[in-house]
């Protein structure tokens, strides 16, 4: 294994701690190395398109952190390059691999909730809530692209489409509430924040979606004071409902009756009946964690590279999420509903 990092400290860490055999300052050396079979791309957003297109051109399957591109156009370029090269791809939509989320998907597909009527989703984080935190690459258009839409809403859109299928149209608004931050380097100067801190959208699901015709709302914030990783959804149907929260990722709340002594939500702990759980824990009440979700993601990627089924989120899922977020930006600018072109090749719409 070879790691690429422009920082010497990063290269030393890769070889001395992470177990890489060698390191280099140039990512091209990794991609061009005939001994390298797959490439993991976890560079800042501005480098994703360049590295991913180069990996595809070299015929190397790649695992890419999200957002795939700074813009929808960049994401589409990556998808086109991967499709032309015929390489397996994986994008870091790790939350969809949570056993409780997979069980929720099973319940939805079984019809246990009846016809889906409405949903709510949110991703609130406080990691950028301090206005004195420096102006890093995440806050500029050139380096980061959009703000919370790319960073958090992309995860949420992918998760909701994984559960319910294609979002067909959106109406959205966004806001930038911390308008400037200190420049890096300890200077007293401040620079402008160029992208949004908060985004909210109304959504309607496409006619061919599992959630056909359902309505809902999605919102994301990177400046919420209080939440750490408050990431969750509520899904309501004519026969029942369910809800899940990442801060309690090993639990699912389910309501499947309107009357009797057990009306309301039942809290269900993940156990061996939830997809994938038994590979990590022997019994319910013994929780999985975030790193386990990345392990599952890596495993699914490598299985696909070796000829197995493609089950992890791929570059086409990233295109699908970016189309929703691009439509949200357009809606915020025009104050009008925006229709979304469906994306072929996603794993979200693979219900087999």
Are 2-91 and 96-288+319-339 the same fold in CATH? Answer: no
Residue 260 is predicted with a pLDDT of 81
% of the chain residues with pLDDT over 90: 93
CATH fold group of domain 2-91: Rossmann fold (3.40.50)
Rounded Cα gap, residues 199 and 215, in angstroms:
17
Pairing of strands 251-255, 241-245: antiparallel
∠ CA 340-345-351, rounded to 5°: 95
Rounded Cα gap, residues 84 and 271, in angstroms:
41
Rounded Cα gap, residues 84 and 87, in angstroms:
8
Q: What is the pLDDT of residues 213-261, one digit of tens each?
A: 999 999 999 999 999 899 999 999 999 999 999 999 999 999 998 888 8
Rounded Cα gap, residues 247 and 235, in angstroms:
18
% of the chain residues with pLDDT over 70: 99
Rounded Cα gap, residues 160 and 67, in angstroms:
16
Residue 1 is predicted with a pLDDT of 84
Q: What is the pLDDT of residues 128-182, one digit of tens each?
A: 999 999 999 999 999 999 999 999 999 999 999 999 999 999 999 999 999 999 9
Rounded Cα gap, residues 101 and 246, in angstroms:
10
Q: Where do the structural domains in the chain lie, given as residue ranges?
A: 2-91, 96-288+319-339
Question: What are the distances in angstroms from CA 282 to CA 38, 44, 95?
Answer: 32, 37, 21
Which H/E stretch holds residue 298?
helix 290-305
**How many CA atoms lie less than 13 Å away from 346 in the CB half-sphere?**
23
Rounded Cα gap, residues 166 and 50, in angstroms:
28
Rounded Cα gap, residues 182 and 190, in angstroms:
4
**How many CA atoms lie less than 13 Å away from 16 in the CB half-sphere?**
6
Please give the CATH architecture assigned to the domain spanning 96-288+319-339.
Answer: 2-Layer Sandwich (3.30)
């Amino acid at each position: 294994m070879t790691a690429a990092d422009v920082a010497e400290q990063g290269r030393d860490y890769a070889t001395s701690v992470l177990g890489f055999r060698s390191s280099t300052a140039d990512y091209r050396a990794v991609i061009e190395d005939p001994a390298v079979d797959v490439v993991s791309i976890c560079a800042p957003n501005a480098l994703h398109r360049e590295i991913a297109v180069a990996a595809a051109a070299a015929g190397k399957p790649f695992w890419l952190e999200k957002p795939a591109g700074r813009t929808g156009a960049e994401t589409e370029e990556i998808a086109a390059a991967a499709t032309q090269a015929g390489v397996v791809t994986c994008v870091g939509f790790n939350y969809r691999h949570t056993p409780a989320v997979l069980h929720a998907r099973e319940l939805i597909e079984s019809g246990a909730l009846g016809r889906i009527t409405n949903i709510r989703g949110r991703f609130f984080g406080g990691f950028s809530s301090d206005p004195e935190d420096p102006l890093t690459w995440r806050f500029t258009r050139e380096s980061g692209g959009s703000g919370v839409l790319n960073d958090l809403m992309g995860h949420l859109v992918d998760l909701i489409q994984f559960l319910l299928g294609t979002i067909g149209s959106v109406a959205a608004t966004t806001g930038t509430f911390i308008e400037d931050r200190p420049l890096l380097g300890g200077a007293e100067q401040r620079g402008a924040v160029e992208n949004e801190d908060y985004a909210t959208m109304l959504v309607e699901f496409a006619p061919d979606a599992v959630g056909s015709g359902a309505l809902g709302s999605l919102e994301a914030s990177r400046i919420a004071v209080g939440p750490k990783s408050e990431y969750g959804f509520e899904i309501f149907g004519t026969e029942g409902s369910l809800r899940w929260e990442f801060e309690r990722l090993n639990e699912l709340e389910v309501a499947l009756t309107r009357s009797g002594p057990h009306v309301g939500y039942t809290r269900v702990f993940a156990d061996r009946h939830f997809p994938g759980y038994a590979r990590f824990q022997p019994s319910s009440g013994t929780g999985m964690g975030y790193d386990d979700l990345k392990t599952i993601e890596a495993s699914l990627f490598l299985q696909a590279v070796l000829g197995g089924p493609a089950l992890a989120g791929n570059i086409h899922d990233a295109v699908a999420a970016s189309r929703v977020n691009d439509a949200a930006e357009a809606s915020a600018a025009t104050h009008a509903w925006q229709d979304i072109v469906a994306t072929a090749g996603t794993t979200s719409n693979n219900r087999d």
